[in-house]
């Protein structure tokens, strides 16, 4: 099955046919040259590498901050940094490593690898990839700029209120955090949405879910967890920024808010976040272990179940970060047991890897050395994690250096070590050159020993009572020696990482030429040329096995010679195959948009919004917001039958058809997954409402709900009518009826407008005082949420009416109204749920009286 | 690995004592947790060693017959072997561990809970409020409330219920040698029960990050025999009466205090300021600035002159407008304030 590295076959020399295909595909798929190329690229390989390079820069900056911390703590009573600077440095170290390094880095890896592994030419929303990158870059720059301006956030990386609220953090530091992080999260959500849809809908023909590479399973889980896990923090950030900037007391006890709400919203995100980081890294391990053991993984199904179970359990653990908050005993017992339970799927994976190694013939190559380092550190971190799940023990060591040590064991062991294993493993694919064994091993040992020297001892420092985030300590505490050892270890680890980076850079450029498929791997990415061309696959192979390259080592030649599906690009479109989510059966040909400056400009507009909010120049933010809206609508305009996409023509393929000629293309899936994220945001908002209502210590509810029921009902009636009509019309369009489409869509848009107008009337009639009580502030946010969605639904359907008039939507192009209909359906659901929760329920329960 | 072993050895030799050490317990709750820790360390240490050993052993040079892939019997054998690994290590091992852990761990938590005592008596209540960056301690009592700051006196050998809250941001109340910590949250009152076995002095520290001077938010906890505790409380209550008699030689310092400090600081019987710590018995406290400076002769004057240097960012304004002699006199007078 698994052989030695496939010998460079004679046929790898390009044949004339392969060269013709290459030049044809390169014309269509190529990145533009010159400065335009820098800004308008949408290709997933280029952007994936950019994500990783940017993540690396932020990693190095975060690492410098870590060294500053270790310098300050090396000796007692140091005044290397002032307390203010130390607070900024610790806050930024955590924030940068989590939000600007770990997540974007793994997203970048997934963006680079996933299409190559599942046999696709690109991700399904290339412009979204670019938009995500720019949001990440600008958000990161904004956040990091605060440190250079010496006004960085200083309330700790989890920004607990009220320490982060305007009374106790009056400077702009917290605003930098809230706005910068939200900006970066837009990027994560973009990646989450498109990776989910790409994995589900663009796999190679025949690659049913049960034949998918495990890495894709892990990334699918990560993406869905990003989609569901990030919105609560975005909501929290929005609410806290509203409190800081506009004085709405969501987290202030006196106004009926509750600081603990922030903790719930933060950890609702924060705990899944740990697994969002760990799962892709475990995916690297599950990919490398079978390759270096020379045999298929033992228990593929067990691993998939473990991934799915981990994903679900991770959303039920957040309270274990809050055991000392004083929550009811029963809830503590539940979350304690759940936190321990997550050890089961993790242990399953560890023993799957062990079994695979024992039943195979493993080689300790450089990537495997890093995986071994991962195992040692991560098992240790996992075990201290189980300890921490035990409530009485948690009460003692919570917020001490024991937790700092545990967290670094889990995150550095669970993410950084597999990441480097992956870097060494995929380096030949990206550069065509092999890493060096000697410098690489030196780097590994320095990093591994330095890491353990720093953090193993830190458990002990924590047990001796050293709390986290103190900028200095007294010699009498007896923590001197351990801190000094930790600091020495820290610098040793830094030296190791420097050696690794030198190795990767030098050998990526000057290393020995890599043979084809140097590690003898089984997955599709190794069938490509090294480095792979922009379009990845010259022709799209059928995949009938979990190990396509072990089954057929010459697959790469066949692909390059165009022996598989849809070779070349004579039609001038960027095409890939859309497949059924479960079976991998081919459904349609997906045509992708080409290079575009729109994502850059849209992200720039959002950066203007951020800067406007930071400097409290609100008109500037409004201008930015309007600009972003116009650009995003323009972006959606260049789709389907538009002349810059795939205009109707005589050479349309019939079987399978182009996706814009069908009713259920990937765009519908993208909308669906995006609405899933939106729904998570909505649920977090609903949670906030009920939480404040029932738990907040000084909640104030008016005797009579200020919301007018008749106005709400009328607004809801318009919405309901519009949605039902739209559904009917979309169904008719699918049957081929296009008469009067423009008129009907315009009428539905008018109903949407009426819905919004009545909602605005209800808002105005309510006379809310959002700065006085958390009750009114929450109502305002809820209504604003409905207004934004209602307005968007109305505008999008109005644009559909225009497109119908221009012939861009019709019986032959029935795709788009169905996508917008999903948004209408969603708005219908959230409108009635929210109306019931904020206007009806208080009346029924007689709350406040 | 040798480096790790040496490290473990060093730590073992260095011992577990220390004013803030979880592993040097002085009360029943902390003792339970310390035992839990040692038990978990040994149990989990074994698990760790076995897993790592299994991993490394997989790479040992092996001389095995070539597998013949595709042969159904080989496939079945491997399947069964794999299943054994997964069921044994992935399900059984963590399952048993979790059950054992919960069986021993959950009862240990009960001691920190403010549950009714078996005899039906109610433990003494001490109220602690966290401020940026000092501790307010109140002793509610029918005979009159006693207030102090940064120095907590409690009776030894009996359970005490602490009712804690935060005045500004979230802090956390933690006496490591007595038991676990609990957050001090504005708008809420959290309760925790602690007991000191014997009289002694214990370190305590704010455990929730509360701003730039989080490091200098120490609380000096002193457990004394119950009869001494009663005497101390009574002395603190009587102190109020004593103060009403003027002391001529220090009248100037006293009026300086009333003029400069009284709006923020309380001295029982003299002033009612509530913004800063109560100073009624400051002369008897172990430290100044919530653990920033050890109390000794002249320490208060030094604190008054240099506090923004010793504890940068603390909420007390600098006293640059006062002469050094004035500060020294003020410090000397404050040092006389004892229960």
CATH of residue B252's domain is 2.60.40.420
pLDDT at res. A570: 87
Q: CA–CA separation, A585 vs A15, rounded Å?
A: 30
Q: Is the pLDDT of residue A654 over 90?
A: no
B130 touches chain A (CB under 8 A): no
pTM: 0.95
In a domain, B266, yes or no: yes
Q: SS3 for B146?
A: strand
Strands B190-194 and B160-166: antiparallel
Answer for the pair A559, A539: CB distance below 8 angstroms, yes or no. yes
The reply to whether B161 falls in a domain is no
Rounded CA-CA distance B106/B99 in Å is: 11
Mutation for B interface: A250, A462, A465, most B CBs within 10 A: A465
Walk me through the domains of chain A, giving residue ranges and CATH numbers: 700-849 (1.20.120.80)
The residue among A463, A474, A478, A486 with the most chain B CBs within 10 A of its CB, best to mutate, is A463
The predicted structure's pLDDT at residue A7: 40
- Enter the DSSP assignment of A323: G
How many domains does the structure of chain B reveal? 1
What is the C-alpha separation between A783 and A715, in angstroms, rounded? 12
- pLDDT (0 to 100) of residue B120: 79
- Asked if A348 and B86 come within 8 Å (Cβ–Cβ), the reply is yes
pLDDT-based confidence at residue A4 (cuts at 50, 70, 90) = very low
A579 forms beta bridges with A586
Q: Confidence class of residue A8 from pLDDT cuts 50, 70 and 90?
A: very low
Closest by Cα among A243, A120, A173, A188 to A584: A120
Q: What is the pLDDT of residues A222-233, one digit of tens each?
A: 999 999 999 999
CA B105 – CA B92 distance, rounded (Å): 19
User: Is A769 in the B-facing interface, judged by CB distances under 8 Å?
Assistant: no
User: By percentage, how much of chain A surpasses pLDDT 70?
Assistant: 98
Lowest mean pLDDT among A117-121, A613-617, B61-65, B183-187: B61-65
Q: Are A83 and A471 in contact (CB under 8 A)?
A: yes
To probe the interface with A, which of B1, B161, B169 has the most A CB atoms within 10 Å?
B169
Any chain A CB within 8 A of the CB of B287? no
Query: Which residue from B17, B69, B109 is facing A391, i.e. has the nearest CB?
Result: B109
**Record: contact A471-B212, CB cut-off 8 A:** yes
Contact (CB, 8 A) for A671 and A816 = no
Crossing angle of the two packed helices B2-14 and A437-463, in degrees rounded to 10: 10
Please state, in angstroms and rounded to a whole number, the distance separating the CA atoms of residues B246 and B244.
6
Q: How far apart are CA B234 and CA B242, in angstroms?
A: 13
Chain A residues lying within 8 Å of B40, measured CB to CB: 387, 390, 393
For the cut 50, the answer to whether the pLDDT of residue A110 exceeds it is yes
Let me know if residue B320 belongs to a domain: yes
pLDDT confidence of residue B142: 81
Q: Report chain A's mean pLDDT, rounded to a whole number.
A: 93
Chain B residue with CA closest to A357: the answer is B58
Burial (CB count <10 Å: 0-12, 13-18, 19+), residue A592: buried
Q: Is A9 on the interface with B (CB under 8 A)?
A: no
* Cβ–Cβ < 8 Å for A367, A425: yes
Q: Is residue B310 part of a domain?
A: yes
Across the interface, do A168 and B44 touch by the CB < 8 Å criterion? no
Asked whether residue B197 is assigned to any structural domain, the reply reads no
pLDDT in tens, A445-495: 999 999 999 999 999 999 999 999 999 999 989 999 999 999 999 999 999
Q: Is B208 close to A399, i.e. CB distance below 8 A?
A: yes
Q: Which residue in the block uniquely carries the two structure tokens 């005899």? A: B119
Task: Indicate whether A13 pLDDT > 70.
Answer: no
Q: How far apart (Å, rounded) are the C-alpha atoms in residues B150 and B173?
A: 12
Domain containing B245 equals 239-335
User: Which parts of chain B sit beneath pLDDT 50?
Assistant: 68, 70
* Cβ(A797)–Cβ(A824) below 8 Å: yes
Asked whether residue B269 is assigned to any structural domain, the reply reads yes
Chain A and chain B share a number of CB contacts under 8 A equal to: 274
Q: Are A266 and A238 in contact (CB under 8 A)?
A: no
Q: Is B9 helix (H, G, I), strand (E, B) or coil?
A: helix
The arithmetic mean of pLDDT across residues A406-429, rounded, is: 96
Residue B20 in domain? no
pLDDT value of residue B10: 59
Quick one: average pLDDT of A10-23?
A: 77
* Distance from C-alpha of A347 to C-alpha of A355, rounded to nearest angstrom: 12
Is B29 in CB contact (< 8 Å) with chain A? yes
Question: Is B268 in the A-facing interface, judged by CB distances under 8 Å?
Answer: no
How confident is the model over A142-151, as a mean pLDDT?
A: 92
- Would B191 be classed as within a structural domain? no
Pairwise CB contact (< 8 Å): B106 & A333? yes
Q: Tell me: the pLDDT tens digits for A338-386?
A: 889 999 999 999 999 999 999 999 999 999 999 999 999 999 999 999 9
Which three-class secondary structure state does DSSP give residue A538?
coil
pLDDT score recorded for residue A816: 95
Interface subset of A 47-86, CB within 8 angstroms of B: 82-84, 86
Give the model's pLDDT for residue B237.
85
């Amino acid at each position: 099955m698994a052989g030695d590295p496939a010998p460079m076959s004679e046929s790898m020399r390009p044949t004339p046919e392969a060269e013709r295909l290459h030049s044809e595909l390169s014309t269509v798929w190529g990145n533009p040259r010159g400065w335009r190329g820098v800004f308008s690229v949408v290709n997933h390989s280029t952007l994936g590498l950019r994500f990783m390079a940017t993540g690396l820069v932020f990693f190095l900056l975060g690492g410098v901050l870590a060294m500053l911390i270790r310098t300050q703590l090396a000796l007692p009573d140091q005044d290397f940094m002032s307390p203010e600077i130390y607070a900024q440095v610790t806050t930024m170290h955590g924030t940068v490593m989590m939000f600007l390094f770990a997540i974007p880095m793994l997203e970048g890896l997934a963006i680079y690898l996933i299409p190559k592994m599942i046999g696709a030419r690109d991700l399904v929303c290339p412009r979204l990839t670019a938009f995500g990158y720019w949001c990440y870059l600008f958000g990161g720059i904004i956040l990091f700029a605060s440190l250079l301006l010496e006004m960085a956030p200083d309330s700790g990386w989890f920004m607990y209120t009220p320490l982060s609220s305007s009374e106790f953090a009056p400077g702009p530091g917290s605003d930098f955090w809230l706005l910068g992080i939200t900006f970066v999260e837009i990027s994560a959500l973009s990646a989450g949405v498109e990776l989910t849809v790409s994995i589900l809908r663009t796999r190679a023909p025949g690659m049913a879910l049960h034949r998918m590479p495990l890495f894709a399973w892990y990334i699918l889980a990560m993406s869905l967890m990003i989609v569901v896990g990030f919105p609560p923090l975005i909501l929290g950030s929005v609410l806290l920024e509203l409190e800081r900037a506009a004085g709405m007391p969501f987290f202030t006890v006196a106004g009926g808010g509750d600081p603990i709400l922030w903790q719930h919203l933060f950890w609702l995100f924060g705990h899944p976040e740990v697994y969002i980081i760990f799962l892709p890294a475990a995916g690297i391990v599950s990919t490398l272990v079978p390759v270096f053991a020379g045999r298929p993984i033992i228990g593929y199904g067990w691993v998939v179940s473990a991934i799915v179970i981990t994903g679900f359990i991770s959303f039920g653990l957040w309270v274990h970060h809050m055991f000392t908050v004083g929550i009811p005993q029963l809830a503590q017992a539940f979350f304690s047991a759940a936190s321990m339970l997550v050890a089961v799927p993790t242990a399953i994976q560890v023993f799957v890897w062990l079994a695979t190694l024992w039943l195979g013939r493993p080689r300790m190559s450089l990537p495997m050395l890093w995986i071994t380092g991962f195992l040692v550190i991560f098992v240790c971190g996992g075990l201290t994690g189980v300890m921490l799940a035990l409530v009485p023990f948690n009460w003692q060591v919570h917020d001490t250096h024991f937790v700092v040590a545990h967290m670094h064991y889990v995150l550095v062991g669970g993410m950084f070590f597999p990441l480097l294993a992956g870097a060494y493993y995929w380096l030949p694919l990206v550069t065509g050159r092999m890493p060096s064994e000697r410098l690489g091993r030196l780097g590994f040992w320095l990093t591994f020993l330095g890491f353990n020297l720093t953090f193993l001892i830190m458990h002990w420092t924590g047990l001796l009572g050293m709390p986290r985030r103190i900028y200095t300590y007294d010699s009498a505490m007896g923590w001197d020696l351990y801190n000094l050892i930790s600091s020495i270890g820290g610098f040793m680890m830094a030296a190791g990482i420097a050696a690794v980076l030198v190795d990767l850079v030098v050998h990526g450029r000057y290393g020995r030429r890599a043979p084809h498929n140097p590690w003898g791997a089984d997955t599709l990415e190794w069938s490509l040329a090294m480095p792979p061309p922009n379009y990845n696959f010259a022709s799209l192979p059928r995949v009938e096995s979990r190990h396509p390259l072990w089954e057929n080592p010459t697959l790469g030649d066949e692909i390059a010679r165009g022996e598989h599906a849809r070779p070349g690009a004579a039609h001038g479109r960027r095409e890939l195959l859309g497949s059924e989510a479960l079976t991998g059966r081919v459904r349609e040909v997906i045509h992708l948009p080409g290079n575009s400056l729109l994502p850059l400009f849209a992200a720039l507009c959002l950066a203007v919004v951020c800067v406007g909010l930071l400097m409290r120049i609100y008109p500037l933010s409004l201008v930015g917001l309007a600009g972003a809206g116009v650009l995003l609508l323009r972006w959606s305009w260049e789709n389907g039958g538009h002349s810059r996409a795939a205009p109707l023509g005589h050479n349309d393929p019939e079987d399978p058809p182009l996706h814009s000629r069908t009713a259920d293309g990937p765009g519908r899936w993208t909308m669906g997954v995006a609405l899933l994220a939106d729904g998570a945001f909505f649920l977090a908002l609903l949670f906030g409402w009920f939480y404040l209502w029932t738990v907040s210590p000084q909640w104030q509810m008016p005797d009579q709900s200020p919301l007018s029921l008749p106005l709400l009902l009328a607004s809801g009636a318009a919405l309901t009518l519009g949605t039902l009509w739209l559904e009917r019309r979309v169904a008719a369009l699918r049957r081929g009826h296009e008469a009067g489409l423009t008129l009907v869509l315009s009428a539905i848009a008018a109903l949407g407008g009426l819905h919004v107008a009545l909602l605005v009337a209800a808002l105005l009639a309510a006379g809310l005082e959002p700065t006085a009580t958390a009750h009114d502030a929450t109502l305002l946010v809820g209504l604003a949420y409905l207004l934004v969605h209602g307005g968007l639904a109305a505008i999008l359907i109005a644009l559909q009416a225009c497109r119908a008039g221009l012939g861009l939507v019709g019986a032959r192009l029935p795709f788009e109204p169905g996508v917008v209909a999903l948004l209408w359906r969603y708005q219908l659901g959230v409108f009635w749920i929210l109306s019931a929760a904020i206007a009806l329920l208080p009346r029924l329960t007689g709350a406040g009286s | 690995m040798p480096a790790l072993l040496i490290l473990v050895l060093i730590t073992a030799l260095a011992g577990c004592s220390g004013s803030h050490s979880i592993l040097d317990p002085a009360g029943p709750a902390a003792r339970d947790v310390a035992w839990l820790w040692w038990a978990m360390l040994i149990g989990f240490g074994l698990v760790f060693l076995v897993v790592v050993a299994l991993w490394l052993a997989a790479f040992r040079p092996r001389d095995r017959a070539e597998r013949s892939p595709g042969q159904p019997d080989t496939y079945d054998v491997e399947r069964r072997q794999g299943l054994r690994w997964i069921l044994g290590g992935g399900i059984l091992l963590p399952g048993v561990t979790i059950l054992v852990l919960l069986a021993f761990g959950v009862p240990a938590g009960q001691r920190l809970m403010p549950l009714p005592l078996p005899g039906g008596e109610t433990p003494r209540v001490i109220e602690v409020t966290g401020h940026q960056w000092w501790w307010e301690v109140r002793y509610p009592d029918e005979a009159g409330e006693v207030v102090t700051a940064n120095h907590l006196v409690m009776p030894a050998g009996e359970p005490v219920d602490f009712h804690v809250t935060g005045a500004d941001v979230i802090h956390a109340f933690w006496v490591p040698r007595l038991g676990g910590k609990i957050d001090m949250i504005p708008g809420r009152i959290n309760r925790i029960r602690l007991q000191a076995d014997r009289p002694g002095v214990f370190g305590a520290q704010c455990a929730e990050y509360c701003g730039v001077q989080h490091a200098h938010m120490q609380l000096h906890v002193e457990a004394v025999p119950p009869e001494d505790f009663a005497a101390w409380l009574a002395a603190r209550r009587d102190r109020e009466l004593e103060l009403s008699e003027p002391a001529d030689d220090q009248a100037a310092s006293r009026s300086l205090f009333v003029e400069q400090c009284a709006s923020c600081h309380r001295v029982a019987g003299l002033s009612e300021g509530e913004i800063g710590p109560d100073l009624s018995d400051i002369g008897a406290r172990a430290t100044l600035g919530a653990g920033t400076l050890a109390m000794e002769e002249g320490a208060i004057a030094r604190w008054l002159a240099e506090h923004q240097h010793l504890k940068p960012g603390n909420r007390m304004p600098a006293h640059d407008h006062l002469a050094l002699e004035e500060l020294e006199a003020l410090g000397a007078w404050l040092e006389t304030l004892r229960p």
